[in-house]
Amino acid sequence: MNLSLSAPEAWDPLPTGAWDDAAARHLLRRATWAAGPAEVGRAVSEGLPATLDRLFPAAPSAWPKPPLVAALENDMPAFRQQAAQASDAVKRLLRREEVERSQVAVRDMGVRWMELAAVPENSAFEKWVLFLSGVYVVATEKVKNAAFVYRHFEILAQGALASAPSLAKAVSRSPAMEVYLDLVENRAHAPNENFARELFELFLLGEGNYTEDDIKDAARAFTGYRLQPGTGRFVFAPRQHDDGEKTVFGHTGRFTGDDIIELAYRQRAAGAHLPKRMAAFYLSDIPLPADFLLGIGDRWRGEGNLELRWLVRTFFGSRLFFAPEFRGNFIKSPVQLYLGLVQDLGLKVVPVPRLVLNPLRQMGQTPFDPPNVRGWVGGRAWINSASLAARREVVERLFAPFDADTLTADEVREVDLVRVGEAASFSVPDGFLEPWATLEPEAVVARLSEEFLAIPPEAAFLDGLRQFLKTGARYPTEHKRRLRRAMMTVFESPEYQVC
């Protein structure tokens, strides 16, 4: 890729004169899920700095603990007590029930998060939390405890815009992380290297910026991290901790886990690592050159004081972020595709795990459950013939009338709660098509691509759409049917898959 900027100027703020409709659309599609006309208008009139303040607020709206998670937490101590006195056979049954309840709660939590993230005011912040969850990965498949997974996301959300070392320290105490990377198995005389390795390789520094000996000694520093039986709260067990001298990054001392995190952030590579992950998540699947990453990294460690808010503001406000070579060529993640459609079509996320999470899994991304400790690779890895078929199927579902008869009793209850409270719509109503029905085919096609596509489609595609709309245009019912189908085809097009 040819970059239009040099490393020193790349991270300077975007000049005020360059902030226009196109720039606002770019920011909204990349930092949130969609760029509706009203949102674009508001952002342009407010200006970039005010828009960033609004997208990443000082006090983001809290995510109330999902009821199933609360119930599980509440019942757990009694559950464990019962198990302690039971026979082995009953113990197994109880354990299975616990795991099953946890699975249901995690799926419920997944949909609730999608609903939260679909609200335009929350979109940028929740997308940022999703990004952090792809860095500080835990997999529910191994953690098997919904309360731990929820707590992990609470930790990420609470520290999302605060100091990066504090967030890393909080994550090292996250019960889900303790289990996922075997910290609970890490003992003074039998260190388990799993956490220490991923801390350096994936969370803080990146490959090539540490030695095997650094990992071995760092693992010793993280001994003694334990979870309290019953409550699952983090506790430090001094007797399990290896208090001896360790040598990490050339420094020798009787380091604790927190010391190791501080030492890692003193490495120059730590400044560049998170921006590198951000660029891969928000900007481009082609890695930025090292001098660009070190450029923002050095400033982040200096004037930015390793504050995540500084990093977000600098990144999304930079000349580089808005450079022409980064416009309209980034492949949407499955979550972005889904929530972008929901926002573009003015819909609500249907509060039924099966109907939301299954399509996401088929497209290759389940929130809270990355495929492995590396998180989601993104870019072209999202796209293959199977995932493209699944993407098109999502469009078909959102345009098909919502059929409540296929729901289970529990699902109906959830849907009714939302319906009564918010008069929600889960699929595209006829009313959505009204403003389009009076337009000529030429105008429909032009407006569809202007409003919903980040790049112009091929001429052959537009011709095909126009022809399709002209046929049967005299018959109102047939015209509406064709209008609906033409819109669906635009959302199923290759061009809609990029932003």
Which chain residues interact with other proteins by CB under 8 A?
182, 185, 187, 189-190, 192-194, 197, 201, 207, 212, 285, 328-331, 358, 361-362, 364, 371-374, 376-377, 379-396, 455, 458-461, 464-465, 468, 485-486, 488-489, 492-495, 497-498
Residue nearer to other proteins on the CB measure, 106 or 202: 202
Give whichever of 36 and 191 is closer to other proteins, judged by the CB atom. Answer: 191
Determine the Cα–Cα distance for residues 115 and 109; give it in Å rounded to an integer. Answer: 10
Nearest-approach distance from CB 498 to other proteins, in angstroms: 6
Q: In Å, what is the CA distance from 149 to each residue of 171, 192, 373?
A: 12, 22, 15
Beta bridge partners of 252: 247
- Closest distance of CB 395 from other proteins, Å: 7
- The greatest distance separating any two alpha carbons of the chain, rounded to the nearest whole angstrom, comes to 84
Tell the smallest beta-carbon distance from residue 261 to other proteins (Å): 20
Q: Are 356 and 427 in contact (CB under 8 A)?
A: no
> Measured from the CB atom, is 72 or 398 closer to other proteins?
398
The owner of tokens 């540490």 is: 210
Q: What minimum distance in Å lies between the beta carbon of 248 and other proteins?
A: 17
Q: State in angstroms the smallest separation of the CB of 187 from other proteins.
A: 6
Between residues 103 and 163, which has the closer beta carbon with respect to other proteins?
103
Residue closer to other proteins, measured from CB, 316 or 496: 496
CB of residue 429 to other proteins, shortest distance in Å: 20
Pairing of strands 251-253, 246-248: antiparallel
- List beta partners, residue 307: 163
Q: Provide the minimum distance between the beta carbon of 75 and other proteins in the complex, in angstroms, as a whole number.
A: 26
- Smallest gap from Cβ 41 to other proteins, in A, equals 27
Beta carbon of residue 238, minimum distance to other proteins (angstroms, whole number):
19
- Specify the residue, 122 or 387, whose C-beta has the smaller distance to other proteins: 387
Q: Tokens 């009203």: give the residue.
A: 38
Output 174 or 186, the one with its CB closest to other proteins: 186
Is 255 or 376 the residue whose CB approaches other proteins more closely? 376
C-beta of 193 vs 298, nearer to other proteins: 193
Q: Which residue number, 180 or 265, has a Cβ lying nearer to other proteins? A: 180
Q: How far is the CB of 330 from other proteins (least distance, A)?
A: 7
